[in-house]
């Protein structure tokens, strides 16, 4: 289940593994756990599609977030996809309290993550 994937992700982050993410082209979708170089290419594609700058972030434990950090919150956790991939819709929020209220709890308390910007990929086209 997708909730199991989220708990595994939380465990890896709590154990000190660096996990990077960036927004995907689709609304409320994020690409999580790819190597940084691959994320740069995917973030560029998203920036070009959305015609705006896109951040690549490092996910951190929610308790390690400091003032100014955003939170990445699973707001809709679905069943796994046809190939076993997790189906999660995400939102970004500014406070831990907002993250607690917005997270999907249909499968029990779902984890959410702090985010620290690693790099910003600029949109280079014309508007």
Interval 32-82: pLDDT, tens: 999 999 999 999 999 999 999 999 999 999 999 998 899 999 999 988 888
Burial class (CB in 10 A: 0-12, 13-18, 19+), 62: buried
pTM: 0.90
For the chain, how many structural domains are there in total?
1
Domain membership flag for residue 126: no
Domain contains 48: yes
Its sign, for the CA torsion 104, 3, 18, 85, is negative
101 falls within a domain:
yes
List the domain range (segments joined by +) for residue 55: 2-121
User: Is 98 domain-assigned?
Assistant: yes
- Does some domain include residue 115? yes
- Would residue 68 count as lying in a domain? yes
């Amino acid at each position: 289940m997708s909730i199991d994937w989220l708990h595994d992700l939380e465990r890896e982050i709590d154990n000190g593994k660096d996990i990077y993410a960036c927004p995907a082209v689709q609304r409320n979708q994020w690409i999580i756990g790819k190597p940084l170089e691959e994320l740069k290419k995917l973030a560029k594609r998203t920036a070009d599609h959305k015609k705006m700058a896109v951040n690549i972030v490092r996910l951190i434990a929610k308790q390690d977030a400091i003032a100014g950090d955003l939170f990445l919150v699973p707001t809709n956790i679905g069943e796994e996809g046809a190939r076993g991939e997790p189906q999660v819709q995400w939102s970004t929020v500014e406070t831990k309290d907002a993250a607690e209220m917005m997270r999907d709890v249909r499968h029990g308390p779902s984890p959410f993550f702090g985010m620290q910007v690693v790099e910003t990929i600029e949109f280079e086209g014309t508007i």
